[in-house]
Amino acid sequence: MKVGIIDYGGGNLRSVANALLALGQTPKIIASPDEVGDTTHLLLPGQGEFGDCMDRLEKRKLAPFLKDWILADQPYFGICVGYQILFDSSEEAPEVVGLGIVPGIVRRFVDEPGLKIPHMGWNSALATKGDTPVWKGLGPEPYFYYIHSYFPQPSSAEYVVAETLYGTQKFAAAVEHGNLFACQCHPEKSQETGLRLIRNFLGI
């Protein structure tokens, strides 16, 4: 197994790299398709804005590469914006087209009295399909660290394996399909629970 972290010129590479090192893996930083080589597992730690992320991926020719990689059912772990770009589009950048792997749209939290946006801090994720391969051993409602103002809304529940409630708004906290896994939380900031999530994805 050889693990790669996608570098699109943004994202929290260092924290994710440190999490992988804690699991005994030495990740390779990948900034273009030419650098993938014999990498077997890819992680994309997203941070920032949907449109900017897609633009940077396109400029580095990583967007079409990632779409082909995921459609070929090769292991991909998307974090935060790395999760959101899997969808068709986002209210954050309505003119930008996402990868379209998971049908649906990324929406902004609706203002509610007393509800702070962004959603920041610890919150639980309710497993909707039990112990799927990456969710194995995490229990029915583990806690993770979140920081985001937008959340994916899939067109159907086919891929959804966990949901989180913020205020009165429920959103798809994680999706899983074959070797694809992606989540809105930050596992690299979620202590042992987050490490377990990454470990399950790697199969170690």
Catalytic residue among 49, 92, 176, 188: 188
Joined together, the tokens standing for residue 164 give 């989180």
- Dist CA 83 CA 181 (whole Å): 8
Q: Which of 53, 80, 183, 185 is catalytic?
A: 80
Query: Strands (DSSP E) along 7-86, which ranges?
Result: 28-30, 41-45, 76-79
In eight-state DSSP terms, residue 33 is G
Q: Which position among 41, 119, 148, 186 bears the catalytic label? A: 186
DSSP state of 110: P
User: Minimal CA–CA distance to 201: which of 72, 74, 65, 38?
Assistant: 74
80 is catalytic: yes
Please state, in angstroms and rounded to a whole number, the distance separating the CA atoms of residues 75 and 116: 34
Query: How far is it, in rounded angstroms, from Cα 30 to Cα 98?
Result: 20
3-state percent breakdown (helix, strand, coil) of the chain, nearest 5: 25, 30, 45
Q: Which residues pair with 105 in a beta bridge?
A: 89, 153
Which residues belong to the active site? 80, 186, 188
